[in-house]
Amino acid sequence: MRTQVAIIGAGPSGLLLGQLLAKAGVDNIIIERQTGDYVLGRIRAGILEQVTVDLLDEVGVGARLHAEGTVHHAIELVFDATRHPIAIDELTGGKTVTAYGQTELTRDLMEARAAAGLTTIYSADEVSLHDFDGANPRVRYRKDDQEHEIACDFIAGCDGFHGVSRATVKDSITEYERVYPFGWLGVLSDTPPVSPHAIVYGNSPRGFSLCSMRSLTRSRYYVQCPMDDKVEDWSDQRFWDELRRRLDPELAERIVTGPSIEKSIAPLRSFVAEPMRFGRLFLAGDAAHIVPPTGAKGLNLAASDVKYLSTALIEHFQEKSAAGIDSYSARCLRRVWKAERFSWWLTSLMHKFPDDGGFGQKIQEAELDYLVHSRAMSTALAENYVGLPL
Protein backbone atom coordinates (compact mmCIF):
# COMPACT_ATOMS: atom_id res chain seq x y z
CA MET A 1 0.00 0.00 0.00
CA ARG A 2 0.96 3.61 -0.49
CA THR A 3 -0.39 6.87 0.85
CA GLN A 4 0.75 10.44 1.26
CA VAL A 5 0.38 10.56 5.07
CA ALA A 6 0.34 7.55 7.39
CA ILE A 7 -1.38 8.49 10.66
CA ILE A 8 -0.57 6.36 13.71
CA GLY A 9 -3.51 6.31 16.13
CA ALA A 10 -7.29 6.53 15.62
CA GLY A 11 -8.08 8.70 18.63
CA PRO A 12 -9.55 12.18 18.22
CA SER A 13 -6.28 13.79 17.07
CA GLY A 14 -5.54 11.17 14.43
CA LEU A 15 -9.13 11.16 13.16
CA LEU A 16 -9.30 14.96 13.06
CA LEU A 17 -6.01 15.15 11.17
CA GLY A 18 -7.30 12.58 8.69
CA GLN A 19 -10.45 14.62 8.04
CA LEU A 20 -8.56 17.89 7.60
CA LEU A 21 -6.15 16.28 5.14
CA ALA A 22 -8.87 14.47 3.21
CA LYS A 23 -10.88 17.68 2.88
CA ALA A 24 -7.85 19.22 1.14
CA GLY A 25 -7.36 16.18 -1.12
CA VAL A 26 -4.38 14.75 0.76
CA ASP A 27 -4.55 10.94 0.86
CA ASN A 28 -4.07 9.35 4.27
CA ILE A 29 -4.37 6.02 6.06
CA ILE A 30 -4.87 5.61 9.81
CA ILE A 31 -3.25 2.67 11.60
CA GLU A 32 -4.60 1.78 15.08
CA ARG A 33 -3.44 -1.08 17.29
CA GLN A 34 -6.78 -1.38 19.12
CA THR A 35 -10.26 -2.21 17.82
CA GLY A 36 -12.72 0.52 16.99
CA ASP A 37 -14.91 -0.56 19.90
CA TYR A 38 -11.98 -0.27 22.29
CA VAL A 39 -11.23 3.26 21.08
CA LEU A 40 -14.86 4.25 21.65
CA GLY A 41 -14.83 2.66 25.10
CA ARG A 42 -12.25 5.06 26.49
CA ILE A 43 -13.75 7.43 29.06
CA ARG A 44 -12.23 10.87 28.62
CA ALA A 45 -13.02 14.48 29.41
CA GLY A 46 -14.83 16.68 26.95
CA ILE A 47 -14.45 20.43 27.53
CA LEU A 48 -13.84 21.97 24.11
CA GLU A 49 -12.32 25.36 23.38
CA GLN A 50 -13.82 27.43 20.58
CA VAL A 51 -10.77 26.66 18.42
CA THR A 52 -11.55 22.95 18.68
CA VAL A 53 -15.25 23.49 17.96
CA ASP A 54 -14.31 25.53 14.88
CA LEU A 55 -12.06 22.72 13.61
CA LEU A 56 -14.85 20.17 14.01
CA ASP A 57 -17.17 22.48 12.08
CA GLU A 58 -14.50 22.88 9.41
CA VAL A 59 -14.48 19.14 8.71
CA GLY A 60 -18.27 18.88 8.86
CA VAL A 61 -18.77 16.96 12.11
CA GLY A 62 -20.09 19.71 14.36
CA ALA A 63 -23.85 19.20 13.97
CA ARG A 64 -24.39 16.82 16.88
CA LEU A 65 -21.97 18.76 19.05
CA HIS A 66 -24.04 21.92 18.60
CA ALA A 67 -27.30 20.03 19.14
CA GLU A 68 -26.26 18.05 22.22
CA GLY A 69 -23.28 19.90 23.73
CA THR A 70 -23.70 22.38 26.54
CA VAL A 71 -22.12 25.81 26.27
CA HIS A 72 -20.48 27.09 29.46
CA HIS A 73 -20.36 30.85 29.91
CA ALA A 74 -18.73 30.72 33.33
CA ILE A 75 -16.70 28.72 35.77
CA GLU A 76 -17.18 28.80 39.53
CA LEU A 77 -14.48 28.69 42.19
CA VAL A 78 -15.31 27.41 45.68
CA PHE A 79 -13.07 28.30 48.60
CA ASP A 80 -13.68 29.17 52.23
CA ALA A 81 -17.12 27.50 51.80
CA THR A 82 -18.20 30.22 49.35
CA ARG A 83 -18.76 30.03 45.59
CA HIS A 84 -17.43 32.72 43.26
CA PRO A 85 -18.47 32.92 39.57
CA ILE A 86 -15.97 33.90 36.84
CA ALA A 87 -17.87 35.07 33.74
CA ILE A 88 -15.49 33.80 31.06
CA ASP A 89 -17.67 35.04 28.17
CA GLU A 90 -17.89 38.58 29.52
CA LEU A 91 -14.15 38.70 30.23
CA THR A 92 -13.11 37.40 26.78
CA GLY A 93 -15.48 39.23 24.45
CA GLY A 94 -18.03 36.42 24.19
CA LYS A 95 -15.80 33.33 24.08
CA THR A 96 -17.08 30.16 25.76
CA VAL A 97 -16.28 26.47 26.15
CA THR A 98 -18.53 23.55 25.27
CA ALA A 99 -19.10 20.36 27.25
CA TYR A 100 -19.29 17.44 24.82
CA GLY A 101 -17.98 14.00 25.70
CA GLN A 102 -14.78 12.92 23.97
CA THR A 103 -16.36 9.53 23.30
CA GLU A 104 -19.12 11.21 21.29
CA LEU A 105 -16.64 13.44 19.47
CA THR A 106 -14.62 10.34 18.52
CA ARG A 107 -17.77 8.60 17.32
CA ASP A 108 -18.65 11.58 15.11
CA LEU A 109 -15.19 11.59 13.53
CA MET A 110 -15.17 7.80 13.03
CA GLU A 111 -18.56 7.87 11.33
CA ALA A 112 -17.53 10.76 9.09
CA ARG A 113 -14.36 8.93 8.07
CA ALA A 114 -16.28 5.74 7.29
CA ALA A 115 -18.91 7.67 5.30
CA ALA A 116 -16.15 9.23 3.20
CA GLY A 117 -14.68 5.81 2.44
CA LEU A 118 -11.32 6.64 4.02
CA THR A 119 -9.08 3.80 5.15
CA THR A 120 -8.61 2.99 8.83
CA ILE A 121 -6.76 -0.18 9.81
CA TYR A 122 -7.78 -1.39 13.27
CA SER A 123 -6.18 -4.18 15.32
CA ALA A 124 -2.77 -3.56 13.77
CA ASP A 125 -0.13 -5.38 15.81
CA GLU A 126 3.63 -4.83 16.00
CA VAL A 127 3.50 -1.39 14.35
CA SER A 128 6.96 -0.05 13.52
CA LEU A 129 8.19 3.12 11.79
CA HIS A 130 11.08 3.15 9.33
CA ASP A 131 13.21 5.51 7.20
CA PHE A 132 11.45 8.71 8.33
CA ASP A 133 14.82 10.43 8.34
CA GLY A 134 14.90 10.07 4.55
CA ALA A 135 12.57 10.68 1.63
CA ASN A 136 10.69 7.37 1.75
CA PRO A 137 9.19 6.57 5.16
CA ARG A 138 7.46 3.25 5.75
CA VAL A 139 5.11 1.84 8.36
CA ARG A 140 5.05 -1.88 9.02
CA TYR A 141 2.45 -3.80 11.00
CA ARG A 142 1.02 -7.26 11.46
CA LYS A 143 -2.66 -8.12 11.02
CA ASP A 144 -4.44 -11.46 10.66
CA ASP A 145 -1.08 -13.24 10.92
CA GLN A 146 0.30 -11.40 7.88
CA GLU A 147 2.97 -8.73 7.57
CA HIS A 148 2.00 -5.45 5.87
CA GLU A 149 3.86 -2.33 4.81
CA ILE A 150 2.66 1.15 3.92
CA ALA A 151 4.94 3.45 1.96
CA CYS A 152 4.26 7.15 2.52
CA ASP A 153 5.63 10.67 2.30
CA PHE A 154 5.11 11.55 5.98
CA ILE A 155 4.18 9.87 9.26
CA ALA A 156 2.02 11.57 11.90
CA GLY A 157 2.39 10.09 15.39
CA CYS A 158 -1.00 10.62 17.05
CA ASP A 159 -0.84 7.48 19.18
CA GLY A 160 -0.48 8.89 22.68
CA PHE A 161 2.09 8.74 25.45
CA HIS A 162 2.47 4.95 25.31
CA GLY A 163 2.45 4.67 21.51
CA VAL A 164 5.16 3.54 19.15
CA SER A 165 5.81 6.99 17.66
CA ARG A 166 7.39 8.65 20.69
CA ALA A 167 9.09 5.39 21.69
CA THR A 168 10.76 5.19 18.27
CA VAL A 169 12.52 8.57 18.72
CA LYS A 170 12.89 8.48 22.50
CA ASP A 171 16.69 8.69 22.35
CA SER A 172 16.45 11.94 20.35
CA ILE A 173 13.97 13.64 22.68
CA THR A 174 14.53 15.98 25.59
CA GLU A 175 11.81 15.26 28.15
CA TYR A 176 10.46 17.69 30.73
CA GLU A 177 8.23 16.24 33.44
CA ARG A 178 6.58 17.04 36.74
CA VAL A 179 4.64 14.36 38.62
CA TYR A 180 2.10 15.58 41.18
CA PRO A 181 1.87 13.87 44.60
CA PHE A 182 -1.85 13.02 44.35
CA GLY A 183 -4.46 11.69 41.98
CA TRP A 184 -8.06 12.34 40.96
CA LEU A 185 -10.77 9.92 41.95
CA GLY A 186 -13.40 10.32 39.24
CA VAL A 187 -17.00 9.15 39.19
CA LEU A 188 -19.33 9.12 36.20
CA SER A 189 -23.03 8.94 37.03
CA ASP A 190 -26.33 9.19 35.17
CA THR A 191 -27.48 12.13 37.25
CA PRO A 192 -28.18 15.76 36.30
CA PRO A 193 -25.16 18.02 36.83
CA VAL A 194 -25.16 20.13 39.96
CA SER A 195 -24.29 23.21 37.87
CA PRO A 196 -25.50 22.69 34.28
CA HIS A 197 -24.00 25.87 32.81
CA ALA A 198 -20.74 26.21 34.73
CA ILE A 199 -17.82 24.01 35.78
CA VAL A 200 -17.17 24.14 39.52
CA TYR A 201 -13.63 23.98 40.96
CA GLY A 202 -13.32 23.54 44.71
CA ASN A 203 -10.40 24.29 47.03
CA SER A 204 -10.83 23.18 50.63
CA PRO A 205 -8.59 22.05 53.50
CA ARG A 206 -9.73 18.51 52.59
CA GLY A 207 -8.43 18.86 49.02
CA PHE A 208 -9.54 19.66 45.49
CA SER A 209 -12.93 18.86 43.95
CA LEU A 210 -14.44 19.32 40.50
CA CYS A 211 -18.04 19.22 39.30
CA SER A 212 -18.38 18.83 35.54
CA MET A 213 -20.69 17.10 33.10
CA ARG A 214 -21.02 15.09 29.90
CA SER A 215 -24.63 16.06 29.21
CA LEU A 216 -27.71 17.35 31.01
CA THR A 217 -28.31 13.81 32.29
CA ARG A 218 -24.75 12.57 32.86
CA SER A 219 -22.31 14.08 35.35
CA ARG A 220 -18.60 13.73 36.02
CA TYR A 221 -17.24 14.49 39.48
CA TYR A 222 -13.73 14.33 40.95
CA VAL A 223 -12.04 14.57 44.32
CA GLN A 224 -8.32 14.75 45.03
CA CYS A 225 -7.01 11.62 46.72
CA PRO A 226 -3.65 10.05 47.65
CA MET A 227 -2.07 8.08 44.83
CA ASP A 228 -1.93 4.95 46.96
CA ASP A 229 -5.72 4.91 47.44
CA LYS A 230 -7.60 2.03 45.83
CA VAL A 231 -10.84 2.42 43.90
CA GLU A 232 -12.39 -0.43 45.85
CA ASP A 233 -11.86 1.55 49.07
CA TRP A 234 -14.21 4.23 47.79
CA SER A 235 -17.86 3.22 47.94
CA ASP A 236 -20.29 5.47 46.12
CA GLN A 237 -21.60 6.74 49.44
CA ARG A 238 -18.12 7.61 50.66
CA PHE A 239 -17.44 9.51 47.44
CA TRP A 240 -20.65 11.56 47.57
CA ASP A 241 -20.11 12.39 51.25
CA GLU A 242 -16.55 13.53 50.59
CA LEU A 243 -17.54 15.63 47.57
CA ARG A 244 -20.18 17.46 49.60
CA ARG A 245 -17.66 18.27 52.35
CA ARG A 246 -15.46 20.09 49.80
CA LEU A 247 -18.18 22.37 48.38
CA ASP A 248 -20.20 25.29 49.70
CA PRO A 249 -23.31 24.26 51.66
CA GLU A 250 -25.84 25.39 49.06
CA LEU A 251 -24.17 23.52 46.22
CA ALA A 252 -23.60 20.44 48.36
CA GLU A 253 -27.32 20.34 49.12
CA ARG A 254 -28.17 20.45 45.39
CA ILE A 255 -26.09 17.42 44.36
CA VAL A 256 -28.20 14.59 42.96
CA THR A 257 -26.48 11.30 43.77
CA GLY A 258 -26.75 7.94 42.06
CA PRO A 259 -24.81 4.76 41.39
CA SER A 260 -21.49 5.24 39.61
CA ILE A 261 -21.25 3.83 36.10
CA GLU A 262 -17.47 4.34 36.02
CA LYS A 263 -14.99 5.00 38.81
CA SER A 264 -11.23 5.35 38.51
CA ILE A 265 -8.16 7.05 39.98
CA ALA A 266 -5.98 9.00 37.56
CA PRO A 267 -2.45 10.31 38.24
CA LEU A 268 -1.58 13.91 37.43
CA ARG A 269 1.56 14.96 35.61
CA SER A 270 2.97 17.58 33.27
CA PHE A 271 5.09 16.28 30.41
CA VAL A 272 6.62 17.78 27.26
CA ALA A 273 8.84 16.12 24.65
CA GLU A 274 11.04 18.34 22.49
CA PRO A 275 11.26 18.55 19.54
CA MET A 276 8.03 17.39 17.90
CA ARG A 277 9.48 16.75 14.43
CA PHE A 278 12.02 14.15 13.37
CA GLY A 279 12.62 14.31 9.64
CA ARG A 280 9.32 13.16 8.12
CA LEU A 281 7.86 11.98 11.42
CA PHE A 282 5.76 14.38 13.49
CA LEU A 283 4.45 13.93 17.02
CA ALA A 284 1.06 15.38 17.95
CA GLY A 285 -1.17 15.36 21.03
CA ASP A 286 -0.33 13.08 23.96
CA ALA A 287 2.57 11.58 22.03
CA ALA A 288 4.36 14.89 22.63
CA HIS A 289 2.81 16.41 25.74
CA ILE A 290 0.53 15.76 28.69
CA VAL A 291 -1.10 18.31 30.96
CA PRO A 292 -2.84 17.75 34.29
CA PRO A 293 -6.58 17.75 33.55
CA THR A 294 -7.24 20.74 35.80
CA GLY A 295 -7.26 23.22 32.91
CA ALA A 296 -9.05 20.96 30.39
CA LYS A 297 -6.25 21.43 27.84
CA GLY A 298 -5.28 17.90 26.73
CA LEU A 299 -7.71 17.35 23.85
CA ASN A 300 -7.61 21.02 22.88
CA LEU A 301 -3.81 21.06 22.65
CA ALA A 302 -3.98 17.97 20.44
CA ALA A 303 -6.46 19.77 18.18
CA SER A 304 -4.16 22.79 17.82
CA ASP A 305 -1.21 20.49 17.00
CA VAL A 306 -3.34 18.86 14.32
CA LYS A 307 -4.33 22.23 12.87
CA TYR A 308 -0.68 23.29 12.60
CA LEU A 309 0.33 19.93 11.13
CA SER A 310 -2.50 19.70 8.61
CA THR A 311 -1.78 23.25 7.41
CA ALA A 312 1.92 22.41 7.01
CA LEU A 313 1.28 19.17 5.10
CA ILE A 314 -1.36 20.71 2.83
CA GLU A 315 1.05 23.56 2.11
CA HIS A 316 3.73 21.01 1.20
CA PHE A 317 1.55 19.08 -1.23
CA GLN A 318 -0.29 22.03 -2.78
CA GLU A 319 2.38 24.73 -2.82
CA LYS A 320 5.59 22.66 -2.66
CA SER A 321 6.63 24.71 0.37
CA ALA A 322 8.46 23.36 3.42
CA ALA A 323 7.91 26.48 5.55
CA GLY A 324 5.08 25.03 7.63
CA ILE A 325 6.86 21.72 8.12
CA ASP A 326 10.06 23.42 9.21
CA SER A 327 8.27 25.61 11.76
CA TYR A 328 5.84 22.94 13.03
CA SER A 329 7.68 21.98 16.20
CA ALA A 330 8.47 25.53 17.29
CA ARG A 331 4.90 26.75 16.64
CA CYS A 332 3.36 23.89 18.58
CA LEU A 333 5.74 24.15 21.51
CA ARG A 334 5.09 27.87 22.00
CA ARG A 335 1.41 27.08 22.53
CA VAL A 336 2.11 23.87 24.45
CA TRP A 337 4.25 25.60 27.07
CA LYS A 338 1.65 28.32 27.62
CA ALA A 339 -0.97 25.63 28.21
CA GLU A 340 1.43 23.71 30.46
CA ARG A 341 2.01 26.86 32.49
CA PHE A 342 -1.71 27.52 32.89
CA SER A 343 -2.49 23.92 33.82
CA TRP A 344 0.36 23.86 36.36
CA TRP A 345 -0.77 27.18 37.85
CA LEU A 346 -4.42 26.13 38.21
CA THR A 347 -3.37 22.77 39.66
CA SER A 348 -1.08 24.49 42.18
CA LEU A 349 -3.82 26.95 43.11
CA MET A 350 -6.65 24.46 43.69
CA HIS A 351 -5.03 21.37 45.25
CA LYS A 352 -3.82 20.56 48.73
CA PHE A 353 -0.14 19.63 48.62
CA PRO A 354 1.05 17.17 51.29
CA ASP A 355 3.93 19.32 52.56
CA ASP A 356 2.31 22.77 52.44
CA GLY A 357 0.36 22.57 55.69
CA GLY A 358 -1.82 25.41 56.93
CA PHE A 359 0.47 28.08 55.50
CA GLY A 360 0.04 26.75 51.96
CA GLN A 361 -3.74 26.66 52.36
CA LYS A 362 -3.80 30.30 53.53
CA ILE A 363 -1.59 31.41 50.63
CA GLN A 364 -3.97 29.67 48.20
CA GLU A 365 -6.97 31.34 49.79
CA ALA A 366 -5.28 34.75 49.57
CA GLU A 367 -4.49 34.24 45.89
CA LEU A 368 -8.02 33.01 45.19
CA ASP A 369 -9.46 36.04 46.98
CA TYR A 370 -7.27 38.31 44.85
CA LEU A 371 -8.25 36.39 41.72
CA VAL A 372 -11.99 36.80 42.16
CA HIS A 373 -11.72 40.49 43.10
CA SER A 374 -9.22 41.54 40.43
CA ARG A 375 -10.68 41.96 36.95
CA ALA A 376 -7.20 41.79 35.44
CA MET A 377 -6.41 38.45 37.06
CA SER A 378 -9.90 37.09 36.35
CA THR A 379 -9.44 38.08 32.70
CA ALA A 380 -6.09 36.27 32.52
CA LEU A 381 -7.75 33.13 33.92
CA ALA A 382 -10.65 33.43 31.47
CA GLU A 383 -8.40 34.03 28.44
CA ASN A 384 -6.38 30.92 29.18
CA TYR A 385 -9.43 28.84 30.03
CA VAL A 386 -11.27 29.50 26.74
CA GLY A 387 -8.03 28.94 24.85
CA LEU A 388 -5.34 31.21 23.51
CA PRO A 389 -5.53 32.03 19.78
CA LEU A 390 -3.69 29.82 17.30
Which residues are designated catalytic? 72, 201, 293, 297, 385
CA distance 363 to 369: 10
Cis ω on the peptide bond leading into residue 196 (within 30° of 0)?
Answer: no
Note whether 229 and 265 are within 8 A (CB): yes
Q: Coil, helix or strand for 105?
A: helix
Alpha-carbon radius of gyration of the chain: 21
Q: What is the DSSP letter of 133?
A: T
Measured in degrees and rounded to the nearest 5, phi and psi for residue 233 equal -80, -10
- Strand (E) positions, the chain? 5-8, 28-31, 47-48, 70-72, 74-79, 82-86, 97-99, 119-121, 125-130, 138-143, 146-151, 154-157, 174-189, 198-204, 207-215, 218-225, 260-274, 277-278, 281-283, 289-290
CA distance 95 to 64: 20
CA distance 309 to 20: 10
